[in-house]
Structure 1
Amino acid sequence: MSITPASVQDEPLSLADRAFLQLQDRLIFLDIPPGAPLNEGRLSQELQLGRTPLREALKRLESEHLVVTYSRRGTFATTVDITALSEISQVREVLEPLAAQLAAERRGGGVRSQLEELRDRLANPENERLDRDEALRWDVRIHRAIYAAAGNSHLQATLERYSNLATRIWCVVADRIPELQEHITVHSALLTAVLEGEADEAAGIMRTHVRDFETQIRQVL
């Protein structure tokens, strides 16, 4: 499943944007392992892109704390700092409910049709058997859609950054979280609250969801 942000799904992507999104996906889901080097020549061939857009993408990824560049050594995927969980959760616990509230007040705004599609797809019985990777991608895509629906580009950018960092932590411990499917199915209620304009309900569901995320991770650390 693609996890392209909802706000850009219908817009043409520049070569740098395309490289950024593909590498971001690999980095947050640990397909590129933490600490691994990113070889520009190899990536340029894999993504079928020139060095200039690739380097632009890497600069953006560095600003998102997903890669780090060392002089004369090259660029590497950042390590996953599990000790940052509390700080990340503190920010998300405040801003994620706000995004859900704003999204509900706008009843999905310009991405309403995408929220409806996500809710309909969640209702598919096949989603009762999601594997770990699919479940994680559902979580990311739904959160990004809510951020876009809030209609605040600054809030959206901030939450996408912290969500990416949180997802990397989650990927480290996901195999040890038995309630992973339950963590995902709560999104049906969240999407319904947003689409029906239930702002307080949407904020409450999101707040509990974020708190449960931290609790589940701490239980397996």
Structure 2
Amino acid sequence: MNGPKSRSEERQGELSLAEQAYRAIRDRLIMLDIRPGAPINEDQLSQSLGFGRTPVREALKRLQYERLIATFPRRGTFATEVNITDLAHISEVRRQLEPMAAAQAARRATAADRARLTELLRELESAGEQGRSPDDLMRLDLAVHRAIYAATHNPYLEDTLVAYDNLATRVWCLFVDRLPGMAGHIGEHGPLLRTITAADPDKAAELARSHVEGFERAIREAI
């Protein structure tokens, strides 16, 4: 007899196959498990992920729209290159929207949102003690950002920021070996999470803006 499903398994079960395929391929692209410039093969992805070709094809359409893959006539489909010149454009958008999202999360977070943010705060606090790998830290950073965006309860703002955070994370992954202070950068989320759960929108916006600016500065210093 099978035991009870975990919460993550239950959530996965509620998602369509296309959504599951999208998230799996997206995260491979974000974390550079699929390297920039690498060819994208539908059949190989279907086999490695255990999905049929139809959900994979639907996922790839979304990923092309989000600038994570690109299709060229007579050449095929490839993971997009990580172009450092894009960092200024990405940061320009995030400097405006990240503070707005943090402030709205502080205003609108439900009890369930606050519980999730508190759970992530505890994970952040223990991350330094556990000496987690850069890959684990990066995934924790993504989880924190996505939880804050979800707490805005504005699906348009959430989708926009997830897309830009994904692009920013690819830049970060490219230079991770030159960023020894990564744990400290991720640790900056601690005060932000506390401020959001304390329902202080002005302070949350200020901390979010500082975090984005610090990220861009750290990447430029690493180049």
1:19 aligns with 2:21: yes
- The match for 2:42 is 40
- The match for 1:68 is 70
- The match for 1:155 is 157
1:184 partner letter: I
CA deviations over 1:132-172 (Å, ceiling 9, x no partner): 11111111110111000011111011101111111111111
Q: Do the aligned partners of residues 97 and 33 (structure 1) sit closer, same or farther apart at CA in structure 2, a change above 3 Å counting?
A: same
The separation in 1 between residues aligned to 2:96 and 2:13, in whole angstroms, is 30
Q: Do the aligned partners of residues 114 and 146 (structure 1) sit closer, same or farther apart at CA in structure 2, a change above 3 Å counting?
A: same
Shift of 1:71: 2.6
Matched-pair contact (CA < 8 Å) for 1:132–1:174: yes
Matched-pair contact (CA < 8 Å) for 1:103–1:109: no
- The match for 2:90 is 88
The separation in 1 between residues aligned to 2:35 and 2:108, in whole angstroms, is 39
1:186 aligns with 2:188: yes
2:115 partner letter: S
Matched-pair contact (CA < 8 Å) for 1:97–1:206: yes
Percent pairwise identity:
48
The separation in 2 between residues aligned to 1:204 and 1:148, in whole angstroms, is 19
Alignment partner for residue 52 of structure 1, among 47, 51, 54? Answer: 54
> Post-superposition, which runs of at least 4 consecutive aligned residues in structure 1 deviate over 3 A?
8-11, 107-110, 125-128
Indicate the SS of the match to 2:77. strand
1:120 partner letter: R
Shift of 1:131: 2.0
Q: Do the aligned partners of residues 46 and 97 (structure 1) sit closer, same or farther apart at CA in structure 2, a change above 3 Å counting?
A: same
Shift of 1:195: 0.6
Indicate the SS of the match to 2:113. helix
- The match for 2:3 is none
The separation in 1 between residues aligned to 2:54 and 2:169, in whole angstroms, is 28
The runs of 5 or more residues in structure 2 that have no matched partner are 1-7
2:120 partner letter: L
* Residues paired across the two proteins, number: 215
Shift of 1:128: 5.0
1:15 partner letter: L
Q: Do the aligned partners of residues 11 and 92 (structure 1) sit closer, same or farther apart at CA in structure 2, a change above 3 Å counting?
A: farther
1:28 aligns with 2:30: yes
CA deviations over 1:187-208 (Å, ceiling 9, x no partner): 1111111111011111111111
- TM-score, normalization: structure 1? 0.91
Shift of 1:112: 2.4
- The match for 2:135 is 133
- The match for 2:203 is 201
CA deviations over 1:113-139 (Å, ceiling 9, x no partner): 211211122222665512211111111
Instruction: Say what the alpha-carbon RMSD is for the aligned residues.
Output: 1.9
The runs of 5 or more residues in structure 1 that have no matched partner are 1-5
The separation in 1 between residues aligned to 2:144 and 2:177, in whole angstroms, is 21
Deviates more, 1:9-18 or 1:91-100: 9-18
- TM-score, normalization: structure 2? 0.91
Indicate the SS of the match to 2:14. coil
2:154 partner letter: N
